Amino acid sequence: MAAGQTLGRLAFVKMHGLGNDFVVIDSRGRGAVTTPALARTLGDRHRGVGFDQLSEVRSDDVADIALDFWNADGTRAGACGNATRCVADLVMADLGRDRLTIRTARGDLVAVRAADGLVSVNMGPPQLDWDQVPLARPVDTLHLPLPGDPVAVGMGNPHAVFFVADAGALDPAAHGPAVERDPLFPERTNVEFASLTGPDRLRMRVWERGTGITLACGSGACATAVAAHLRGLTGRRVQLDLDGGTLWIDWRDDGVWMTGPTARVFDGLLDPAVVGT
């Protein structure tokens, strides 16, 4: 994994999980470098590198690594499932391991290598009480008082899941921004649109808080699978087909496990002038 600095330039890795793309900065053994301004600069697809989220890897005294997540608008993200899988793939390769513990704002997560080159991560138990999501006031999280009757699920970040007739035909940009900033969500929310396409199979599209439309969202897939089971649409093991590909979700007793592919696209060096933004 590219790490540290070369001639004052900060190294990074560009990765994606189903087209949900990330910049990964390895800060192990030194201080964290990411600021809101740096995240915004790097997240700009025209003037920076471009990403859906930025992940910064840090050393931890207990877990194998710690992870911080940033959105493209410079705000912090509490969880990012696909980025967690991508970083886990890199670090497991570095350490020659098939299992990893990861400290995040969501809590301590476990990632493991799965069959066929896939990576699984336990995203922890879903947060189903209104104050855990969080919501602004006590409401029934299974039937939010919003048009479209969404379900609220917390996965370390908030989600509003809408079940629609044809998620593939729906434009998330036409509906997502208003829901993201609805007063019911004090920290804003990610917005998922899903439709049942077969037994324990869903088609999903997503509008991500602080980023917009993305090709995939790991925590959103977990939230959608949980919401679908709670609504009686599926069992606890679900296949989700997203714009960028397929994830497999398994809501077990110890948490919501997500399995899918990862890809390392390229390594790069950030100019000191950019890092000092």
Superfamily of domain 5-123+261-275: Diaminopimelate Epimerase; Chain A, domain 1 (3.10.310.10)
The pLDDT-based confidence of 104 (bands split at 50, 70, 90) is very high
pLDDT tens digit sequence for 122-138? 999 999 999 999 999 99
Instruction: Return the domain boundaries, the chain.
Output: 5-123+261-275, 151-253
Active-site residues, by number, are 80, 217
Q: pLDDT at position 108, please?
A: 94
The pLDDT-based confidence of 4 (bands split at 50, 70, 90) is low
Q: For residue 4, give Cα distances in angstroms to 52, 58, 113.
A: 22, 12, 26
Q: pLDDT at position 5, please?
A: 53
Write down the mean pLDDT value for the chain.
94
Judged against a pLDDT cut of 80, whether residue 276 lies above it is answered with: no
Mean pLDDT score, 198-225:
96
| Sole residue written with tokens 């390594």 | 267
What does the DSSP assignment read for the chain? ---SEETTEEEEEEEEETTEEEEEEE-TTS-----HHHHHHHH-TTTS---SEEEEEE--SSSSEEEEEEETTS-EES--HHHHHHHHHHHHHHHT-SEEEEEETTEEEEEEE-GGG-EEEE----B-STTTTT-SS---TTS-SSTT--EEEESSSEEEEEE-S-GGG--HHHHHHHHHT-TT-TT--EEEEEEEEETTEEEEEEEETTTEEES--HHHHHHHHHHHHHTTSS-SEEEEEETTEEEEEEEETTEEEEEE--EEEEEEEE-HHHHT-
Mean pLDDT score, 141-169:
97
Full-model pTM? 0.92
Do 151-253 and 5-123+261-275 fall under one CATH topology?
Answer: yes
Judged against a pLDDT cut of 90, whether residue 8 lies above it is answered with: no
Judged against a pLDDT cut of 70, whether residue 242 lies above it is answered with: yes
> Which fold would CATH assign to domain 151-253?
Diaminopimelate Epimerase; Chain A, domain 1 (3.10.310)
Judged against a pLDDT cut of 90, whether residue 159 lies above it is answered with: yes
The pLDDT-based confidence of 29 (bands split at 50, 70, 90) is confident
Judged against a pLDDT cut of 60, whether residue 7 lies above it is answered with: no
Judged against a pLDDT cut of 80, whether residue 274 lies above it is answered with: no
